[in-house]
Amino acid sequence: MSLPPTWDLFGEDHLPHRLQLLAKMIDRETSGQLMREFSMSLAEWRVLAFICAAGPSSAADVGAASAIDKAEVSRATAKLVADGLIERNADPAHRRRMILAPTPLGSETHQRIRDRRRAFFQHILRDVSAESREEINRALRRIALSLVAARDQ
């Protein structure tokens, strides 16, 4: 597999373009892996991963945290409920709000997928030193904070 043809299109100073391309490449690989190995879509994985990591949450919380639109969260939730991986319960504090929580099968499935994801990330980062990873993480954080500051002005 080669890099997308637009990787160098805008020059080396157009880092956001490359970050977007890299994210799409990772999403495509993740999507294929999830479907092949677990019969699960990327949106379904994001919903399951969020509620397993953050705890029981509303669909709105999941969507906001994962940048998934309402309809996609709804479809993913319906499939996860049908597959017995999550349950949907009424929120006692808000009559119209439902809380999503993993079932025991959902928690076990989450752990299996998370282990596979970690192995995948270790594989794609195998040629990047620990020091480089730390610097990349620091740089990404600085970029994100700069973006938040620009948005809040």
99-137: pLDDT as tens digits: 999 999 999 999 999 999 999 999 999 999 999 999 999
Check: CB of residue 57 under 8 Å from CB of residue 51: yes
Report the sign of the C-alpha dihedral through residues 68, 70, 76, 81, in that order: positive
Does residue 126 form part of some domain? no
Per-residue model confidence (pLDDT) at position 30 = 94
Residue 47: inside a domain: yes
Residues 6 or more apart from 44 whose CB is under 8 A from it? 34, 76, 79, 80
Alpha-carbon dihedral 79, 99, 46, 73, rounded to 10 degrees: 60
- Domain membership flag for residue 22: yes
Residue 132 belongs to a domain = no
Per-residue model confidence (pLDDT) at position 1: 62
Residue 46 lies in a domain: yes
Q: Count CB atoms within 10 A of the CB of residue 103.
A: 15
Q: How far apart are CA 38 and CA 41, in angstroms?
A: 9
38: exposed, middle or buried (Cβ count in 10 Å: 0-12, 13-18, 19+): middle
Looking at residue 17, its pLDDT comes to 86
pLDDT of the residue at 68: 82
CATH number at residue 78: 1.10.10.10
Q: Give domain status of residue 148, yes or no.
A: no
Paired tokens of 101:
């929580």
CA distance 87 to 82: 9
Let me know: does 33 contact 23? Beta carbons within 8 Å: no
Full residue range of the structural domain in which residue 88 is found: 15-120
The domain tally of the chain equals: 1
Residue 9 lies in a domain: no
Does the residue 143 lie in any domain?
no
Which stretches of the chain drop beneath a pLDDT of 70? 1
pLDDT at 5: 80
